[in-house]
Structure 1
Amino acid sequence: MMTWIYQTILIIVILQNVITNILSIPVEPKTSIHRLETRYYFDYSIGGNQAEKDYCISILHLTRALDCDKARDLAEEALAKAKNNFPESTLHNGSGDAYRHCYWSGLLTFEFGVSGAKGFGDRHEDYPKNPSGEKAMDLNNNNVGRTVASQIKKGDKNALSAACKQALTDGRLKTLN
């Protein structure tokens, strides 16, 4: 029995070393490893912070990179939708920002379930320089997005958009301006 445990531990240590060595190999900018380092994490269009990077780059959970890439793509989709539906002046702390958070959290809920969406949304707001009022507003709007997404047919983006707009009209989404 003990031999099996020692062998398992040895295999884990060897795999960790192999993965660490592979990830430390210098590569040309167009390779997938560089793409992981830039596109998924450090150029995270939704403002990647340390909590997001720590989650996404975990050596013990390499498949998270794919989830983080999907979350980033959904964030870009939500931003584009907000830009198409709201004036530019409302995209920071206004109605467009509230809608974007609701819609993004709804898309995340479709993709990862309520718990997964909450994880991405909470990590996104978890950074020291995030003003407390903005954080509270965004966490509220993320929660509304998860709630409305869980009440409509999974994947129905038109219904999600309409539900987020209705939540804004009803005053369930919060803004600071």
Structure 2
Amino acid sequence: MSGWFESKMAGWDRLTEGEKDYLFANPWDAFAIERNSKIAQQEAARRFGKGSLHNGAGDAFRHCYWNALLARDLGKGNAIAFSTAHEGFPNNPAGERDMDLHNNSVGSEIGAAHPHASDGVLSNLCFDALQSGRLKVLKP
């Protein structure tokens, strides 16, 4: 193995069993999932800095934005299915899992309600959801 395929297979070991099951059934979704994950991570770091990307406002925003992008690109059901599977890793603290699932749900609602929105519009809608208190944050 070499190149792109090798790097993707190395990442396969870090997926939950639920994520693997989802990707076996929906292999082409992997491209949108990875692309949107990177976009959400970069936008959260840009808006909030790296210090709030674990249980803080940046983390809440990132989960919302990632799921808004996924719902727009893959449909709300698929966004929820994959992001729920993503939280199914062993020893995921219940409070963190609940926060992430809540924020994923808000994001998928936003993406489903705006199926033709640009990345920037979805980013702003998730930021508005954070500012209005719709997103859960564990650390201020």
Question: What TM-score results when the alignment is normalised by the length of structure 1?
Answer: 0.72
Q: Which of 72, 87, 92 is 1:110 aligned to?
A: 72
TM-aligned CA distance change 1:29 to 1:118, over 3 Å? same
Whether 2:27 is the aligned partner of 1:55: answer no
Q: Note if contact 2:72-2:114 (Cα within 8 Å) is conserved in structure 1.
A: no
Whether 2:3 is the aligned partner of 1:30: answer yes
Q: Note if contact 1:74-1:104 (Cα within 8 Å) is conserved in structure 2.
A: yes
Higher gyration radius (CA):
1
Between the aligned partners of 2:75 and 2:21, the Cα distance in structure 1 is: 21
Shift of 1:77: 1.1
For residue 129 of structure 1, what is the aligned residue in structure 2? Answer: 91
Shift of 1:147: 1.1
Q: Give, as a single letter, the amino acid of the residue that structure 1 aligns with 2:91.
A: K
Q: Tell me the secondary structure at the aligned position of residue 65 of structure 1.
A: coil
Q: Which of 67, 91, 94 is 2:29 aligned to?
A: 67
Q: Identity rate of aligned residues, in percent?
A: 35
For residue 10 of structure 1, what is the aligned residue in structure 2? Answer: none
Shift of 1:152: 2.4
Q: Which of 134, 140, 147 is 2:102 aligned to?
A: 140
TM-aligned CA distance change 1:147 to 1:31, over 3 Å? closer
Runs (5+) with no aligned partner, structure 2: none
Question: What TM-score results when the alignment is normalised by the length of structure 2?
Answer: 0.89
The superposition leaves residues 9-55 of structure 1 with CA deviations (integer Å, 9 ceiling, x where unpaired) of xxxxxxxxxxxxxxxxxxx32374x354235x23xxxx622221233
Q: Which of 152, 155, 164 is 2:114 aligned to?
A: 152
For residue 88 of structure 1, what is the aligned residue in structure 2? Answer: 50
The superposition leaves residues 95-124 of structure 1 with CA deviations (integer Å, 9 ceiling, x where unpaired) of 000000000000000111110111111111
